[in-house]
A and B are shown apart, each in its own frame.
Chain A
């Protein structure tokens, strides 16, 4: 569990910088319209309740991490095309994705070892490959806003 906590702290510590780096890299109107363009309104984002049992929280955390992992992968793919020069953003997106992958591994091990949960049903966000540039940027911004919000709650919950 200490590793899971450290991972959440690590994600929480870098979430804001990633968010800032992202919307800055998108250019206007994003930096000045965060509440409109980057509000954490991701409807299909898996829920996370901080006051559940450890098992329940781990299951929800697993779903969140799985969702975020794929979603960030999409964002990373899109940004490499939309902002190929934003190397810092790419690097941070990659490292966040790596950390989320590690978090998935630890959470699964914990669920399996302690609670004998071998499988958790997960959901993924929509594929952004068919969307236009603005939508891609906006969805990415909303996702990172939501991610920053949820990871903060999760870091407090564990």
Chain B
């Protein structure tokens, strides 16, 4: 057959096959939904719809549908035949990630035929991404990471979105294998705030993370410093200097560093104090290192304000500190080899190499010096750790030093005793015995101890003294005995102390102590104390020491004196305050006020019951209330009736001037507290007046007594007027009126001056009557007004009640004030009372008998 025929045959076969496959591929039905994605644990319902042609072809209908999941029949209870061609199945609580759900029919009622199949996917909707954070690795693009939340079991897309305030950037889609991070496609731009967030989406839902707004410069992880190098210093073996190159990010931010170091063999890092490297720098010197030691360093950096991330650690760099002289002398010993040569011996000196931290460098060699006792010096230098020398039998001192590049160590010394050394030991001497083990590789650590060949009691006792002395205790101290005086090991001390009269007390003290406190001492007492030091062989007393305990403890005196003084001061203050508060009462009892007659306010004379004046508290001059009421009596000058007795009394009045302690001011002056002696005017005029005419008694001092003392003498009352009587001269008509003693009317006006109610408050005076005495001085008028106004009712009542005042003599004011003229004495009788009676005014005094030229006090 030709090729063409072959080709045609193949084409036919292919065509027919395709046709048949196409027919075979045409399903009999379909399932809806076709590619479901459901939430795990939820129910799912699918519907299988048969095509009509299949229903006819296979002689089947929906009731012949068999549902299978993963090739397993679904229980028929879960089927629902919808109609002739459709059947649904409900899968409950779908937990499988993927279910193959197939719709099958029994063709011809017998042959199971697959109609359609779907895959049911189940999963979860995406959770909100959390913990979104971004990092900008220097020189690289920004990468953000987040917590994607629970596994969705579905294809889930995470998209990182970013934008400026003025510009949006390209979305960054996370790769399926790294759903929790994304590297943006644009280069970072610093100093511009960017907002980023993550949006996640799958078939079951979407979610969005919180938005993050930041300046990328705050999220930078710098590159580590590079080219770290370490260099040492010949001058200082304890320092190393580090230098490095900073990352390029330094152009836009200042950096701070962490530097760590360790010795080469160590596993833990030490850190340089961060505050020492808190700003951009290029080098740093590390101090306090060990000499000739190798150290390893590393460094990292970040933004100095702490915002951002630390860089990775740099490459490690090593350095060795410079050498220093050996810090320790090597220990060495000797071996004496027996020598066959007489007088000489072979001595081998051996020692160990120093440890690195002791050598402080490379030991170049050792220097040995041998000194024969007080002479000849031999020097040897060797690199080895042993030296063999030939020595005489004398005693030698050997020294060994190790030397390195910087210097030599301290020398260690060794005594090689002479051959004939026998060890002359004496008693009571302290010897230091040292034993050094010698091993094959050299000497070991020596051990020393003190010893005595034989002990003895100390050659002298300890000297005790006081360190501190209190009222009931004393602290004693002493020095340890010098070794030469000990003669043995001091085992203990005994302290003996006593008073002059007391018994001695002993106290044992351990030898390690150098002070002791004596307690329960008596104050203000002399004590004698001494100490004894004891070795195994006995004791030795030291000298006696005396001290005296103080009477008072420290601060005791102050504790007593200060409170006492404060109490005294407080008491004094309280007393002063009390006295100040009660000053009135105290004054009343200690220094009572003495009324000044000159300042009394006498308003009315009253021979017996002087009217009370209710003095105003302010005006009341004599608060004691001794004398208050005085009325002015007009004495008729024409009265010729002689009364020798009266004259005498008048003389008394005239001659005697009474000083009432400053209170008396002559006529008119009154003093309630004055003596019971009568007072007379101190005015010369008045005296002359009285001398020229008969003595005129113008005042009567009525005294109620002082401090409950009843005066035994006659009491007098007087007016406060200080001017001589002038009324008789100036107003003759007044005298006329007065002469008519029987004419009550005429006398009334004048007598009305003096009327006062004994028990009633003082009535205001009749102004007209005062006008009559206008001729008198204004001060006298004031006196009258004051008298009228001042009511000493209590005193009047008192005087009235006590009956002490027998008689008041009234004197005409005019006569009282007018200069004394002959015949001015007026007689005043009981007209005033009558007048008072007639006028309705209360009677205030008893009438007096007044004779011409004076009056007679009753």
Contact = CB atoms under 8 A, between A and B. Distances in A.
Interface of A: 3-4, 6-7, 9-10, 13-14, 94-95, 98-99, 101-102, 104-106, 108-109
Interface of B: 164-167, 186-187, 189-193, 215, 217, 251-252
B191 A102 contact: yes
A4 B190 CA distance: 10
B251 A105 contact: no
A105 B167 contact: yes
A2 B558 CA distance: 70
Contacts of A108: 166
A10 B220 CA distance: 15
A99 B187 CA distance: 10
A105 B165 contact: yes
Contacts of B192: 3, 7, 102, 105-106
Contacts of B191: 3-4, 6-7, 10, 102, 106
Nearest to A108: B166
Given A3-B215, A10-B251, A10-B252, A109 B165 contact: yes
A56 to B, nearest CB: 21
Nearest to B165: A109
Contacts of B165: 105, 109
A90 to B, nearest CB: 12
Contacts of A4: 191
A154 to B, nearest CB: 14
Contacts of B193: 3
Contacts of B217: 6
Nearest to B164: A105
Contacts of B166: 104-105, 108-109
A102 B190 contact: yes
A2 to B, nearest CB: 8
Contacts of B187: 94-95, 98
Contact of A14 (B167, B189, B251): B251
Contacts of A7: 190-192
Give the one of B164, B165, B191 with max A CB within 10 A: B191
B349 to A, nearest CB: 70
Contacts of A105: 164-167, 192
A3 B186 CA distance: 20
Which 6 A-B pairs give the minimum distances between C-beta atoms?
A: A102-B192, A102-B189, A3-B191, A105-B166, A6-B191, A7-B191
14 contacts: A3-B191, A3-B192, A3-B215, A6-B190, A6-B217, A10-B190, A98-B187, A98-B189, A101-B189, A102-B191, A102-B192, A105-B164, A105-B192, A109-B165
A108 to B, nearest CB: 6
B133 to A, nearest CB: 21
Nearest to A13: B251
Nearest to A3: B191
B255 to A, nearest CB: 15
B215 A99 contact: no
B189 A6 contact: no
B192 to A, nearest CB: 4
A109 B192 CA distance: 10
Given A98-B186, A102-B189, 4 more contacts: A3-B191, A7-B190, A99-B190, A101-B167
Main SS of chain B's interface residues? loop
A6 B252 contact: yes
B251 A99 contact: no
A76 to B, nearest CB: 13
B162 to A, nearest CB: 13
Nearest to B216: A102
B184 to A, nearest CB: 13
Nearest to B252: A10
A59 to B, nearest CB: 16
Contacts of B186: 98
A98 B166 CA distance: 14
A104 B165 CA distance: 11
Nearest to A94: B187
A9 B190 CA distance: 12
Nearest to A104: B166
A99 B191 CA distance: 9
B235 to A, nearest CB: 38
Contacts of B252: 6, 9-10, 13
Contacts of A104: 166
A150 to B, nearest CB: 19
A73 to B, nearest CB: 15
A106 B191 CA distance: 9
A106 B167 CA distance: 11
A44 to B, nearest CB: 25
Contacts of A106: 191-192
B504 to A, nearest CB: 90
A150 B187 CA distance: 25
Nearest to B217: A6
A7 B217 CA distance: 11
Contacts of B251: 10, 13-14
A112 to B, nearest CB: 9
A98 B193 CA distance: 14
B12 to A, nearest CB: 60
A117 to B, nearest CB: 13
B259 to A, nearest CB: 27
Nearest to B192: A102
Contacts of A98: 186-187, 189
A108 B167 CA distance: 11
A102 B167 CA distance: 10
A76 B215 CA distance: 26
A109 B213 CA distance: 15
B173 to A, nearest CB: 22
Nearest to A8: B191
B601 to A, nearest CB: 92
A102 B186 CA distance: 13
Contacts of A95: 187
Nearest to B167: A105
Contacts of B190: 6-7, 10, 99, 102
Contacts of A102: 164, 189-192
Contacts of B167: 101, 105
Nearest to B253: A6
Nearest to A14: B251
A121 B312 CA distance: 46
A96 B412 CA distance: 72
B193 to A, nearest CB: 8
Contacts of A10: 190-191, 251-252
A13 B252 CA distance: 9
Contacts of B164: 102, 105
A105 B217 CA distance: 16
A6 B220 CA distance: 15
Contacts of A9: 252
Give the one of B166, B186, B193 with max A CB within 10 A: B166
Give the one of A6, A99, A102, A106 with max B CB within 10 A: A102
Nearest to B251: A13
B314 to A, nearest CB: 24
A65 to B, nearest CB: 12
A94 B188 CA distance: 11
B418 to A, nearest CB: 84
A105 B190 CA distance: 12
A69 B578 CA distance: 98
A1 to B, nearest CB: 11
B612 to A, nearest CB: 97
A7 B252 CA distance: 9
A7 B215 CA distance: 12
B167 to A, nearest CB: 6
A98 B165 CA distance: 15
A105 B193 CA distance: 10
A8 to B, nearest CB: 9
A109 B164 CA distance: 10
Nearest to A17: B251
A98 B190 CA distance: 9
B186 to A, nearest CB: 8
B246 to A, nearest CB: 14
A83 B750 CA distance: 148
